[in-house]
Amino acid sequence: MGGSISEKRRAGDSSTLYLFLAMIVVGLGLAVRLLGLSKGIWLDEYSSINQILSDNFVEALRHYDHPPLYFVLLKLWSLAATHEAFLRIPSVLFGVGTLATIIWWLRWYGW
């Protein structure tokens, strides 16, 4: 019907191991991103920060060549604080979320 108990146990062990390894990979990805959080900004980050801190945010978005969703989210995030490391946290979260999504996707498709 559903296989022997040992087959089910091996399948459960396999998924537990996969979950454990996935948590380690996501944790390492988060650690690597957080290590460089306050080591200075790159040109694209400066451009994003300059964009959201402009006097006329909406007008600045109209004349910028990138889609506005990231800038709107960053603008809302900046209402809490404008410290460099704090403004980089959304990118850290998106990066770690992407890593977790890829790991989930790989598991879903049997890799």
| pLDDT tens digit sequence for 82-91 | 999 999 999 9
Q: Each residue of 1-58: pLDDT tens digit?
A: 555 555 555 556 678 888 999 999 999 999 999 998 888 888 999 999 999 999 999 9
Neighbours of 10 (CB within 10 A): 12
Q: What is the pTM of this model?
A: 0.76
Residue 87 · residue 78 · CB < 8 Å? yes
CA 75 to chain centre: 17
Instruction: Report yes or no: 103 and 22 within 8 Å, Cβ to Cβ.
Output: yes
